[in-house]
Structure 1
C-alpha cells in the first residue's frame, strides 16, 4: 500500500448472502472485483474494502424486504461496515409485483432479489451493484463518497422505480406484473439448480432403467405400443412424468405449507419453484432414459423377432415407439427407486429448503 493509499478514506462494503446457498456463489464471484468497480463507477478518491459474509440459512419470511434490511442494520453495526448489500434468492414482492431491489439510505443498506432477474443473474448484478452502493452513500449520513447515477431502469429490462410515501429514503425497483412474474419463475428455477436435482436422483434413473430392461423382454408391451397412437402415447408419457413429480413431492415432503412465518403467496411461489425444478429434472431424466432404452432395443431385439410379434414389416419408427411407451411406463419404477434416495439429496429440490453449509465457520473471510 502506498503512502497516499494509507491516508485515503476507507469505505467498507459488506456483501451478505441470504441464505448461503445460490446467493453465496454469486457473492463469491463478485467480491473479488467489486472494489475495482466501485472505484471506477462511484468514487476513485476513497479506498474501497469489500467484505463477504453469510446470512441466515432460514431467514425471516413474513417480514419480506424490510426484515432483511433490519438484519443488515445489525450486521453493519456488529461488523463495522459502512454499507451493507444483501443478495437473496427469496422471491420478494411489493404489492403482488416482483421486487428486484430496495434501497434504504436511512439504514445504509440495500437488498437485491436474484430470481427477479431471470436467467442472467450474475451479469446483471455485476452491472448494477455499484449503483446500489452509490445510491446508499448518496443519502446516508456520515458516510463519505459521491453519488453514483442510479440508472437501474435502463440496465434491467421492464422495471420501474417507486419511492416510499413518507420520504424515509426507501426506493424500490419492481418488475412489470406479467413479464416480471414469468422472469421471476425462471430465475427461481435457475437459483434452485435443477442440475443438482438431476444428479441427485441417480437411483431414480437406475430404477427406471431396471424397469425398462424388464419391459423390453415382454412382447405384450411391443404390441401395446404398436396399437397406441401418438396422442395416447403422449398422454401416457405426461401422466407418468406428472405422477413421478407428485410422488417425489409427497414422499419427501417437499410441499411448502403456509404458516405464521410463511405467507400464503410466498408458499405458492416456493411450490411453483419446486414443481418447475422437478419437472425440468425429470424431463431430462426421461430423455436419457428414452435414448438408453432405444439403444438397448436396437441392440437386443432383432428386426425379424419384432416383425414376428407385430405380424408386419418393422421400421425404425417401431423402435422409437417401443422406447417411448417403455420409458413412460418405466417412470413408475423410477418413482419406487426415488424412495431409496438420501432424504437430504431429494430435499434439495424444494425451493424453501437450504442445508447448513459445511464450511460455515469460514464465513466472512
Structure 2
C-alpha cells in the first residue's frame, strides 16, 4: 500500500449471499469487480474494500424482508463492516407487488431480491448495488463520501426491474418495487433461473434413460405405428401434454417437493415456491422430451425400413410419418420415464424444489478464515 493510499479513507462493504447457492455465484462474480465500480460510480478518493460471505442455508421466511434486514444488520455489526448488501433468492413483496430492493440507513444495510431482477440478474445487480451503497452512505450522512447527487427514483433508469420507489427518503427506508404485471412475470422467470433448471435436467438422467428404453421397445410394435397414423395432431398434442403433466406431478408427489404453508412459511410464499418448482420441472421435462423425441426419430429412421412401414400402414410414407411415430412414442415413453424417476437420487431430485437448499459446498465464507 502506498503512502497516499494509507491516507485515503477506507469503507468496507459486506456482500452477503443467502442462501449460499445461486446467490453465492452472483455474489462471487460481483465481489471481484465491485470495488472498481464503487470507485467509478461513488467516489474514487475512497479505498473500497469488499468482503463476501453467506447467510443461513435456509433464510428466515416468517418475518419477510424486515427479518432479513435485521439479520444482515447483526452480521454487519459483528464483522465491523461500514455497510452491507444482501443478495437473496427469496421472492419478496411490498404493497402486493414484487420487491426488487430495500435500503435501511438506520441499519446501514440493503437487500436485493435476485428473482425480481428477471433473467439478467448479474447485469442488473452490477447496476443496482453501487447505487444502493451510495444511497446508504448518503442517507446515513457518512462524511467520507459526497452526498449522492441523484434522486432514489433515478435507479429505475439503470435497473429495468425497478418501477417506482416507496418509503421516506429522509428516513433512509426505501423500497424499490416492480410493476404489478410485468414485474410478476419477471419475478417468475427470475425464480426459474435462480432454481437452475439445468441442474434439474442433468439430475434426471435416469429418467431419460428409462424413457429411451420404453421408446425403443415401443418402436418394435406395429400397433404403435397404426395408432400414430390414426391419431390426429390435436390428439397427439393432448397425449404429449398429459404425459409431461403426469411426469411433473409424479416427480413432485414421489419426492415430496410440494411446499406446505406453516408457521415459518406464509401461504403466499409457499405458493410462489410451488410455482417456481413446477415451472423449473416443466422446463426440465420439456427439454428432456425434445432430446427423447430427437433420439426416437433417429432410431426409428435407422431401424424401421420404409417398405416395412408402408406395408403396415398400407400407403406410401415419408419423413413426416417418422416424426408422427416419434411423437406418440415419446409421449408414451414419458410415462415410463416417470416410473424410472423413482430410482433417481433423492438429493438430486429435491434440488429442483425451490424452497429446498442443500448444504453449501465449494464456496467459502470469509468469516471462516
TM-score range, shorter chain: over 0.9
The aligned residue for residue 58 of structure 2 is 58
- Give the alignment of 1:25-104 within 5 angstroms: 25-104=25-104
Cα RMSD between the aligned structures?
A: 1.4
The aligned residue for residue 19 of structure 1 is 19
Which residue, out of 216, 221, 231, partners 1:213?
216
Q: CA deviation at 1:359?
A: 3.8
Taking structure 1 as the reference length, the TM-score comes to 0.97
The separation in 2 between residues aligned to 1:210 and 1:11, in whole angstroms, is 60
The aligned residue for residue 138 of structure 2 is 138
The aligned residue for residue 258 of structure 1 is 261
2:181 partner SS = helix
Q: Which moved more, 1:10-19 or 1:354-363?
A: 354-363
The separation in 1 between residues aligned to 2:362 and 2:212, in whole angstroms, is 36
2:343 partner SS = coil
- Give the alignment of 1:1-365 within 5 angstroms: 1-140=1-140, 144-148=144-148, 149=150, 150=152, 151-157=154-160, 159-164=163-168, 168-359=171-362, 362-364=365-367
Q: CA deviation at 1:363?
A: 4.0
Q: What's the CA shift string for 1:62-98, capped at 9, x where partnerless?
A: 1111111101111111101000000011000012110
The separation in 1 between residues aligned to 2:266 and 2:83, in whole angstroms, is 29
Q: CA deviation at 1:144?
A: 2.7
Contact map agreement 1:69 1:110 (CA 8 A) in 2: yes
User: Structure 1 unaligned runs (5+)?
Assistant: none
Q: CA deviation at 1:133?
A: 0.1
Taking structure 2 as the reference length, the TM-score comes to 0.96
Contact map agreement 2:53 2:365 (CA 8 A) in 1: no
CA change 1:10–1:172 in 2 (3 A) is same
User: Structure 2 unaligned runs (5+)?
Assistant: none
CA change 1:142–1:154 in 2 (3 A) is closer
Q: What's the CA shift string for 1:143-179, capped at 9, x where partnerless?
A: 63223334211112351010149x6421000001111
2:4 partner SS = helix
Q: Which moved more, 1:147-156 or 1:79-88?
A: 147-156
Q: What's the CA shift string for 1:17-42, capped at 9, x where partnerless?
A: 01111110000001011111111111
The separation in 2 between residues aligned to 1:257 and 1:362, in whole angstroms, is 31
| Matched residues, number | 364
